[in-house]
Amino acid sequence: VLELVERFGVSHPTQIVDFDLPAPLAGPDVRVLDGEGQEVCGQLLDGGRRIALMTDLPAGQSRSWTMYAGQRPAAFEGGIAVTETPEQYEIANGLVGVRVPGPPTAPPALDALPAPVQGVCMRDGTWAATGPNRLAAEASTLVAMTTRFLERGPLRVVVEVAYAFERPEYRYGQTHVADAGPGYYRSTLTVEAGQPVILFEEDTDRDLSYSMDFHAAVHPTHA
């Protein structure tokens, strides 16, 4: 049994919450019923060590769920959709979406290196910043580029676009900062059901940049 209790007199809007499980679940199938016995959508995370649910939590109230491991859940609509093409993945939840490059068949040239974002879906359903968007990195050679899903379900999708480089010596003016050697860049994107935002986590040991053109979608009038 899973339970949330609100003790601070604050109402919390509908969002994704996750619970640590006492032991990892061996299989992917799990059926979840709420406190009224209605089946709800649950998604196992972290190799079965956690489970995600969508819920609100009114002030001073509680929510509870019962899990049944090994039982196939019902199909749920309205979650996150992942669409694949040979060039990219499109991840959308009906409020926002993002396109990330698919894993290349061979490492692309440095001057044609795709950035981790190849498009963003606006709230009105139009796609902006569709590029192609290029990554500019201070590197001598691209060793590898990978795209992998860390979580892929109806409630939460986490995708990592990673690059491995051979980098030149890093200097700031006349100051030696780092020796030549291997370098990396990882961009991790999270999309959750019902949330109008995309979370970005960036990790690198190189100077790099990329840009996206939102002008046609945003129509800016001031800078």
What does 88-125 look like in DSSP terms, one character per residue? EEEEE-SS-EEEEEPPPSSPPPGGGPBPS-SEEE-TTS
Amino acid 109: pLDDT: 87
Residue 195: pLDDT above 90?
yes
Question: Distance between CA 97 and CA 216 in Å, rounded?
Answer: 17
Greatest extent of the chain over all pairs of C-alpha atoms, in Å: 68
Place 35 in a pLDDT band, splitting at 50, 70 and 90: very high
Amino acid 86: pLDDT: 86
Give the chain's mean pLDDT: 93
Question: Distance between CA 51 and CA 40 in Å, rounded?
Answer: 12
Read off the amino acid at residue 131.
Answer: G
How confident is the model over 41-96, as pLDDT tens digits?
999 999 999 999 999 999 999 999 999 988 888 888 889 999 999 899 999 999 99
Enumerate residues 6+ apart whose C-beta is below 8 A from 186: 160, 161, 162, 163, 202, 203, 204
List beta partners, residue 166.
Answer: 141, 182
Can you read off the two tokens belonging to residue 189? 């994107």
Amino acid 168: pLDDT: 83
List beta partners, residue 183.
Answer: 165
Can you read off the two tokens belonging to residue 137? 């990195």
How confident is the model over 151-194, as pLDDT tens digits?
999 999 999 999 999 888 888 889 988 888 899 999 999 999 99
Place 204 in a pLDDT band, splitting at 50, 70 and 90: very high
User: Does the pTM exceed 0.75?
Assistant: yes
Amino acid 10: pLDDT: 97
Average confidence (pLDDT) over 19-40:
92
Place of tokens 């050679």: 141
48 phi and psi angles, rounded to 5 deg: 90, 5
Closest CA to 39 of 58, 19, 67: 67
